[in-house]
Copies of this chain bind each other. A is one copy, B any other.
Amino acid sequence: MNAEIIAVGTELLLGDILNTNAQYLSQKLAELGFTVHFQSVVGDNPQRLEQLATQAKQRSDIVIYSGGLGPTADDLTKETVAKVYGDPLQFDQQQFERIRGFFHACSRNMPENNRKQAMVPAFGETLDNANGTAPGALFRDGEKIAILLPGPPKEMIPMFEQQAIPRLQKLQKAVLVSRVLRVYGVGESALEDMVGHLLEGENPTAALYAKPAEVIIRITAKAATSQQAEEMCGKTAQQFYDILGDCIYAEADQTLQQTVVQVLAEKGLKVSTAESCTGGLLSQRITAVPGSSQVFECGVCSYANTIKEKLLGVPADVLEQYGAVSPQTAIAMARGSKALSGADIAVGITGIAGPDGGTPEKPVGLVYISVANGETIWVYKLLLAHRNRETVRFAASQKALDMVRRVALGLEMKDCQCFEM
């Protein structure tokens, strides 16, 4: 069955608020096995709302509305949708008492205009609101269904979960299960070349989504039971693993920094960092993970050369001969960080994040990343042309995280130069 989502509210059209309801409802509808074809936002304008509601009813089995159930004169979602589904509204004494009680509990008198919130579908259903005055509504015209929810997420989410989901589940025969694989180290285009043949299935489906400095693969299967759907996802996931191997660093919502903290904790290893162009972004990302204090020892952010020498012991002649942005300096920084902290794995990052400071030999976007363990030291040359400072820094921190993961797990260090400690 297909569905669409309509948010009603001029404040959304002005950009005053972000439409998080649409994302929430889309995720939930996908999980429930509905295919969402449209999301729309329309203002508090009865003509445009009626036009959209009429069109949505024609093209979609289920339409979920949020917003426009308030007490003011321009809250017209219920009145307009009732008309489109041919269901008159009638006064409901019980809802009226509940709304009045809501004000009473706050020691306030109910304003007269809240009375309109007690108007409910004559033939449809009323959805109780445990967290506000506006009840929700369900309208039905033949097989076509509209569900009306309040706009504030604090009211909308509990009403959807407690009252809409059970009704929606009854409409579905099949179960949908999704699985997300997270890939680092292969760009979207290259990935499409490698796994393109796996993206053509109809059930399970598989699709790629480019994210900052990584790509995610979403596999979705439809079956009679969740166990069957999970098995189908599993088989497809295995095909991706066969091709991409350890480039799949985690699944679901687990970020690269969470993966690194988890791997280090499992192995009982500690990490330390020495950052120049990333300026603390790497240590910030690692320490953003709860529990990272177990695996993170210390970070030094050495912008000035004197600090590279003084704190990290980068030899003055290395800086002079090869420059601050060089594989030699990155290596010396990782060595220095390791000596300083006594950590098992140490990282050194030096580069030119831009927008200024580039030369023909050392352009903006050139970063050297070095990772050392007790025996070996690796260095990688990252070169990102035409990217802004933020992108260069993030990509460098992402590469560093992946190198730490690979060193901790003893995986292949592709395209790295390698030296003895």
In the complex the two chains form, is A48's CB within 8 Å of B43's CB?
no
Chain B residues, Cβ within 8 Å of A131:
386-388, 391
Does chain B have a CB within 8 A of A284? yes
Does chain B have a CB within 8 A of A282? yes
**Chain B min CB distance to A55 (Å):** 8
Q: Which one of B39, B102, B303, B341 lies within 8 Å of A13 (CB-CB)? A: B39
Q: How far is the CA of A82 from the CA of B288 in the complex (A)?
A: 45
Does chain B have a CB within 8 A of A384? yes
Selected interface stretch from A137-145, A161-169, A186-194: A186-194
Chain B residues, Cβ within 8 Å of A72:
188, 192, 208
Q: Which one of B19, B187, B387 lies within 8 Å of A23 (CB-CB)? A: B19
Interface size range of chain A in the complex: 35 or more
Q: How far is the CA of A279 from the CA of B20 in the complex (A)?
A: 27
Map CB proximity to B onto A11-26 as digits: 1 under 8 Å, 0 otherwise. 1111111111011111
In the complex the two chains form, is A26's CB within 8 Å of B13's CB?
yes
Selected interface stretch from A86-94, A236-244, A292-300, A403-411: A292-300
Q: Taking the full assembly, how many copies of this chain does it contain?
A: 2
Centre residue among A28, A275, A296, A303 by max chain B CB count within 10 A = A303
Q: Which one of B24, B279, B356, B391 lies within 8 Å of A284 (CB-CB)? A: B279
Chain B residues, Cβ within 8 Å of A45:
37
Does chain B have a CB within 8 A of A41? yes
Interface residues of A in 237-292 (CB under 8 A from B): 273, 275, 277-284, 286-288, 290-292
**Which residues of A are at the interface with B, using a C-beta cutoff of 8 A?**
10-20, 22-30, 36-43, 45, 48, 52, 70-72, 102, 105-108, 111, 113-114, 130-131, 152, 154, 187-190, 192-193, 207-210, 216, 218, 273, 275, 277-284, 286-288, 290-293, 296-304, 307, 310-311, 340-341, 354-357, 365, 383-391, 393
A-B pairs with the 4 shortest C-beta distances? A279-B287, A105-B385, A280-B280, A15-B27
